Amino acid sequence: MHRPHLARFVLLLCGSLSACSDDTAEKAPAATQAPRTASVAPDLVDEARERGLDYVNVCGEPEKRTILEANGAGVAVLDLGGDGDLDLVFAQGLASLADLTKGPGADVEVFVNSGDGHFTRGKGPGLAGWWTGFASGDVDGDGDEDLVVGGFGALRVLVQNAKGELEVGADLLGDAGLDRLEPGQAREKGHPPRWTSSLALFDADRDGKLDLYVGNYLELDPVAPTVGQVGEGAVALPCRWKGYDVYCGPQGLVAQRDRLYRGGGDGSFVDATDTWYPAQVPGYTLGVTTFDADQDGDDDLYVSNDSMPNNLLINDGHGVFTDHALTAGVALSQDGVAQAGMGVAFGDVDRNGQFDLAVANFSGEPTELYLAAERGFNRATYRIGLAKETKALLKWSLQFVDFDGDGQLELFEANGHTYPQADREGTGTSYGQAASLWHLDLGTKLRAVAPQSERSILAPKLGARGSAIGDFDGDLAPDLVLVRIDGPAALGMNRMGPDAHRLAVRCLGPDADAATPNGPRTPADGRGARVIVVPKPAAKTTEFALLASAHTAVGYQSASAAWLYFGLGASTDYESIRVLWPSGRVETLGPGKGDRALTIREGRGIVAEAAKR
């Protein structure tokens, strides 16, 4: 949030569906450029400290006696203040489980972008809790982005006001009794609160109002947590891993039901779980993402569960979901075993016009890569060598991003073990783990991107959890913010593919008077729009198309920017941009110049265009 740069956001009033050329945009003042590091090596360089991002995560005690203290926090990337740059909101926990009952609780932490990727602390909404994850979207249809934040015993709407600040809105556990937990209030044992992990805002019933999927984890009693063993007497099972005593869970603890809320379009939500997800088998949910898995025009859900089968929830077009994960081949491991599903990501990895999936798992299990096929998904995990690369790691947030701008998605993975005992002898793994990045050339084995310096976010062997994507310095190259557990956040500024041409696209729903009167509607923030970009073939390059979808719930407990980032490779221009709106309308724009940030409104084409800085 900062004062708008006129050169960056020039409203185009041509109203045409074809891209308009705009000389003003090409003359963006150099003064707005972010200072670059001396290094030009292709890397994601952690510049958190010099850019003013001083968030430090707090997540219980270092011994990690309970599972709550191991799961860490997420982050949201969104535009506060409508100034066109991307700001950050971090979830925050407490120093110990005892602090939940002792108080005070933590607020979420806001960092405001000055416009060039430097941050200052902003005013928080004044919450008090142990916060875990975010969903972002325009929940009240007023044109700006809002948040829903989940926590241990809390689920709140955070509405962005006219000043670009977050205000506490609806309490979605308002009548949930002991499912709520207020830090500082006395609590008796035997009442585990509702524990939200990952969330997603999307339009389940295609009415143009955002609905909410809330992934819930498990029943942990904050007053008398299960420690040492689950069960009683001779039939108890010790909480042990590789011969070492560790915290208990998830197995042996009770999984909580996920929830689906119908959005009222005004920031209110009503629990519709029973009607929209009637055949739910509760899992230990950790990851949620939304995309059109069956290509029927509505958004489906993929839910990853810890040590339980994952869910592929197919939407019937009216918001009623049925799980097809088993027959689609995305529920279990290759051997039919439920894995410890963590973060999830989707993207068109093989550029065949269908969305593929990646699922992070526990150490000893691979990160799974599922490629969409004619029937369900085909597992590519082993064929490309992803199992070997990931088996020793404990994986959390995942992102499919074209960091180097060559038109091929890379896979980013936040790693870090849950058990401090991982550093002890004979575990085959370690507590601190470096983040990973791979080029995915599906014809061959994947290629790891090596850190180019110790400042790379891929270098330090620390523990990471949430991550989110956004272009913080306006160079159109997607950057990455990484939430590390019990430590400072990293801000990976993208120095990959410096010569590549790029395009950033933001989709918006139609003007109120242009919305389709009957039938499906596109939400105000364009949520669910699918965008196909065809770069203009450059010399000696093959033609390809890039598919992305306007969703922010990717990774783990985090919300990425609403912008879609396309790499055009050597192509300076794009041939066409095709937008498939949730309303059913299809618009084709172009040709046009690359290295632009384009805002496309349904029915009006490109309404704003800014050049790369």
Only segment of 235-243, 285-293, 394-402, 457-465 that touches other proteins (CB under 8 A): 235-243
Q: Which amino acid is at 585?
A: R
Residue of the chain from 36, 257, 351, 383 that contacts other proteins (CB under 8 A): 383
Residue with tokens 């407490």, as numbered in its chain: 94
| Residue 175: burial class (beta carbons within 10 Å; 0-12, 13-18, 19+) | exposed
Check binding of 281 to other proteins (CB under 8 A): no
In sequence order, which residues have a C-beta less than 8 Å from that of residue 499 and are 6 or more positions away?
none
Q: Tell me: cis bond preceding 104? Omega within 30 of 0 counts.
A: yes
Distance CA 42, CA 404 (A): 8
Q: How far is the CB of 361 from other proteins (least distance, A)?
A: 15
Check binding of 226 to other proteins (CB under 8 A): no
Check binding of 375 to other proteins (CB under 8 A): yes
Check binding of 585 to other proteins (CB under 8 A): no
Q: Which is nearer to other proteins, 386 or 458 (CB)?
A: 386
Check binding of 588 to other proteins (CB under 8 A): no
Residue of the chain from 308, 386, 507, 524 that contacts other proteins (CB under 8 A): 386
- What backbone torsions phi and psi does residue 30 show, to the nearest 5 degrees? -65, -20
| Residue 145: burial class (beta carbons within 10 Å; 0-12, 13-18, 19+) | buried
Q: How far is the CB of 445 from other proteins (least distance, A)?
A: 8
Q: Residue 273: which H helix or E strand, with range?
A: helix 273-276
Distance CA 567, CA 533 (A): 10
Check binding of 254 to other proteins (CB under 8 A): no
Alpha helices (H) in 44-112, listed in sequence order? 98-102
Nearest to 222 by CA among 197, 191, 261: 191
Q: How far is the CB of 610 from other proteins (least distance, A)?
A: 43
Q: Which is nearer to other proteins, 108 or 386 (CB)?
A: 386
Q: How far is the CB of 284 from other proteins (least distance, A)?
A: 15
- Terminal C-alpha separation, the chain: 17
Q: Which is nearer to other proteins, 14 or 392 (CB)?
A: 392
Q: How far is the CB of 233 from other proteins (least distance, A)?
A: 7
Nearest to 434 by CA among 422, 410, 450: 450
Triad 592, 9, 206: Cα angle to 5°: 75
Only segment of 28-36, 72-80, 236-244, 293-301 that touches other proteins (CB under 8 A): 236-244
Q: Which amino acid is at 389?
A: E
Check binding of 242 to other proteins (CB under 8 A): yes
Check binding of 275 to other proteins (CB under 8 A): no
Residue with tokens 């003007």, as numbered in its chain: 511
What the block records as the tokens of 389 is 């690369």
Q: Which is nearer to other proteins, 78 or 371 (CB)?
A: 371
Check binding of 337 to other proteins (CB under 8 A): yes
Q: How far is the CB of 375 from other proteins (least distance, A)?
A: 7
Check binding of 388 to other proteins (CB under 8 A): yes
- Binding to other proteins (CB under 8 A) within 418-457 occurs at 425-429, 445
Check binding of 29 to other proteins (CB under 8 A): no
Only segment of 191-199, 267-275, 388-396, 471-479 that touches other proteins (CB under 8 A): 388-396
Name the residues that contact other proteins, by CB under 8 A.
233-238, 241-243, 326-327, 329, 332, 334-337, 375-376, 378-379, 381-388, 391-392, 425-429, 445
